[in-house]
A = this chain, B = another copy of it.
Amino acid sequence: MITKSKLNRKQQIIEKATELFQKQGYAATSMRDLAGYLGIEAASLYSHIKSKEEILQTICFQMANDFFQSLEKVELENSSADKKLRKAVISHVQVMTKDSASSAVFFSEWRHLSESYLNDFLEMRNNYENKFIRILTDGHKEGIFKKMDAKFTVLALLSSINWMPSWYKPDGTLSPEDIADNVTDVFINGLKIRS
């Protein structure tokens, strides 16, 4: 079927593009580069995609959706804030590690989106961060977390996780749960030995 093979080819294009965008950056990756790796001519790419930016859009909004959906599941549970935070971090890490190349592109190439897409992207990111902030402020109200700058803490927390694709080795021994445990343990309990 034409439709099916087209879809598959499109997926191949996006996958290879993701790999190249991660390695070289979006701007430094040419359509000829991409086509070459797929064994076709650059012009042929345009039978499957509308533009170079469409690829970036697909990657970024696919990841954004994945992150959102997995966090919304966590929000539905009702458990204490510290458990919720741990769950939220686990699901965030799971989404990341499931496709670490897409994650890397998502986190560092989104700024090359054109304006209207960029606005949508930033709004989604903001909403996502706010969900984390709410977990922390709820935790404070519950008497679990101490007083803090919740926004600052969330951005620090997410940053520390998000840049993992640049040093996370998938062949390593750490599972998403291990990573989440390490991260949340540091953030929740800190490094100091409790007296």
User: Beta-carbon contacts of A165-177 to B below 8 Å, as 1s and 0s?
Assistant: 0010000001000
Contact A163 B153 (CB under 8 A): no
Query: A189 contacts which chain B residues (CB < 8 A)?
Result: 190, 192
Contacting residue for A156 out of B25, B27, B145, B186, CB 8 A: B186
Count residues of A near B (Cβ-Cβ below 8 Å). Answer: 40
B-side contacts of A191, CB under 8 Å: 82, 136, 139, 145-146, 148, 153, 187-188, 190
Complex Cα spacing A176 to B145, Å: 24
Chain B residues closer than 8 Å to A28, beta-carbon distance = 27, 112
**The one of B153, B157, B182, B195 that contacts A152, using a Cβ cutoff of 8 Å:** B182
